[in-house]
Amino acid sequence: MNQSIRLKPPLSDEDVEKLKIGDRVVISGIIYTGRDAAHKRLFDLLKEGRPLPIDLKGQIIYYVGPTPAKPGQVFGSAGPTTSYRMDAYSPFLIERGLKGMIGKGMRSDEVKEAMKKYKAVYFAATGGAGALLAKRVKKAEVVAYEDLGPEAIRRLEVEDLPVIVVNDVRGNDLYIEGEKKYRTSP
């Protein structure tokens, strides 16, 4: 099997330019969580010209709303959320320096164009593997929007979080290419 590419945020243009669809990646370091409610608040701040509660430059946002952590655990189940729910907001965050997003499912053409223009990538995490993914979280703290509960923005320290590149900076899409590869003729 191919060896995984190791990434440690914050990511640079060079980090994301070397990635291509289908690459297996393991992420270690600091990433942030955020789902639709948090994205809407970030979007509104940007539209008002106000500062964000986190610096997006070079960062990765994981679309996850964890379950409560069990005793002795750092983080609850950490399965990815369907990403299209963030598509209305993602191009604005990418334009402000966001370099990576982790979720599941396809992205809109507008998000893919923003990834090409501003050099960002979209990773998929394995849905249904939330308990296993949670074991990769070594520290977690709420850094914004605590009132959103599981959807608050959290700063996570992760170790070897496994993901796959779905959309790269060249506009390629693993879901589309995979479908073409395995499509059968009628």
Q: How far apart are CA 91 and CA 161, in angstroms?
A: 24
Active site residue 136: no
> Are residues 99 and 60 in contact, defined by beta-carbon separation less than 8 angstroms?
yes
Catalytic residue among 21, 34, 39, 103: 39
**In terms of residues, how long is the chain?**
186
Q: Which residues have CB under 8 Å from 62's CB, separation 6+?
A: 31, 32, 33, 34, 78, 80, 101, 102, 103, 125, 156
Q: Which residues have CB under 8 Å from 134's CB, separation 6+?
A: 66, 73, 74, 75, 76, 77, 78
Query: 3-class SS at 177?
Result: helix
Catalytic residues: 39
